[in-house]
Copies of this chain bind each other. A is one copy, B any other.
Amino acid sequence: MSSQPVEDAAPVGRVQRKRGRRVQEILSTAAELFGERGYDAVSLDDVAERLDVTKGSLYYYFPGKDELAVAAIETLGADWTGRLERLAATAEGPPHERLRALIREHVAIAVGEYPAALRLFLVPSTWPDDPRERIKELRRRHDQVFRGVLEEGLASGEFAVTGLETTLQCMHAAMAQAPLWCGGLESDARERALDELADTLVKLVAAAQ
């Protein structure tokens, strides 16, 4: 469509990088908004305004609202899951300690960095089909991290659960709500609330003594 003569040599030129940066800005802003308000309640005007560009520009980078939403979810998810996976891989100590650490990290990311984006882990129905699938996928990947630790703990006999799936569901559900009641707290109170949440959820896997 456009014509940049010698362009094949450098596959990632200055221009590409700049484009990449722009895309990232857009995605993180979009993730914020979709996380806060859900799909329907966010208009492209909202996104554009927060970025201080025009709606039209968004269409230069994304073919439509759905695709923007999908990409936003994906980016957010990649970062997020990556950090959890790294934590799961490096954390020391008994499964019970590691589970606690995962829970705290998960919610800390949510509350601190993607305010309200945890919502994405619930409420799938109002989203269009495509984004919805991505959300499920994202959730599966998160699940996987937690499932790993749980299975370890179960294998070693440190954990006991009524049902693995059910336990995972309950954990995720509770974590997804956390920003709603921790979001407004001052940093100290918030830390305490998160500790309490982690302690409470760990009870779900407590082996009867």
Contact across chains for B125 and A122 when beta carbons are under 8 A apart: no
Contact across chains for B125 and A38 when beta carbons are under 8 A apart: yes
CA distance A180 to B196 in the complex (A): 26
Across the interface, name the chain B residue whose C-beta is closest to A208. Answer: B209
Chain A binding surface SS class: helix
Q: With A169-B181, A173-B176, A176-B173 in contact, do A200 and B126 touch (Cβ < 8 Å)?
A: no
Q: Mark A169-209, 1 if CB is under 8 A from B, else 0.
A: 11011101110110000000000010011011101101011
Q: How many residues on chain A are close to B (CB under 8 Å)?
A: 42
Q: Which of A97-136 contact B (CB under 8 A)?
A: 116, 119, 122-126
Q: With A1-B49, A123-B123, A173-B173 in contact, do A166 and B196 touch (Cβ < 8 Å)?
A: yes
For the complex, is A29 an interface residue (Cβ under 8 Å from B)? no
A residues with CB within 8 A of B: 1, 36-38, 40-41, 45, 49, 116, 119, 122-126, 161-163, 165-167, 169-170, 172-174, 176-178, 180-181, 193, 196-197, 199-201, 203-204, 206, 208-209
